[in-house]
Homo-oligomer: A and B are copies of this chain.
Amino acid sequence: MGKQLTTKEKIGRAAIALMAERGPDGVSMREIATVVGVSEAALYRHFANKNELIWEVFATHYDAFAGSLSEIERQHDSFEDKLTAMIAACCEFFDRDCDLFVFLLIAQHIQRFAPKDYTAALPALLHQTLAAAIVTGEVPECDVKVNAAMIMGCVIQTSLYCLYSKPEMKQMTPLARDISGACWRIVKGV
């Protein structure tokens, strides 16, 4: 049960799968329609145009993912626990739905389709969490944004490594402890 996808959801999934691989500009509406098995015109019954399709699909999943990470953050007390749990969640997410992970976190060009005042929720979450940890003295004073960026970099780049490792893609979950350990050392300083 629950496997019944609406046409709109199918379109979203197809867009994600295709664009994870080739980016928004590399995927045509025709291609998406073909994969879904509907006519091109049908796409326009569900999304006003290509831009809105991309953005709506992105925003929906991005918000959901950011929300779940935020939830995880709230469920842990120490910064180290928060960090470890969030990174573990990212790794599990990658292993569960690699296309979506890539689409959300790696296809940078997606930003082009964002509304003017859009601010990315994920970096923001990391900033706050890190800032709070500085206040509590768990981690020493540091440039919050730079350190948040490095943490994201550790996760994203290892994902890319897993993605492109041949002959068959590697799993991220086994690397979760290594990554969170490294990130903890990044912020913990000397």
Contacts and interface: CB of A to CB of B under 8 A. Distances in A.
B186 A161 contact: no
- Number of chain copies forming the complex: 4
B154 A160 contact: no
Contacts of A188: 185
Nearest to A27: B25
Contact of A25 (B22, B146, B154, B156): B22
Contacts of A106: 108
A143, A150, A175 pick with most chain B CB within 10 angstroms: A150
- Looking at chain A's contact residues, the main secondary structure is helix
A187 B155 CA distance: 15
Contacts of A179: 146, 150
Contacts of A26: 25, 109, 112
Contacts of A178: 142-143, 146
Interface in A144-158: 145-147, 149-150, 152-158
B154 A158 contact: no
Interface of A: 22-23, 25-26, 106, 108-109, 111-112, 142-143, 145-147, 149-150, 152-158, 160-161, 164-165, 175, 178-179, 182, 185-186, 188-190
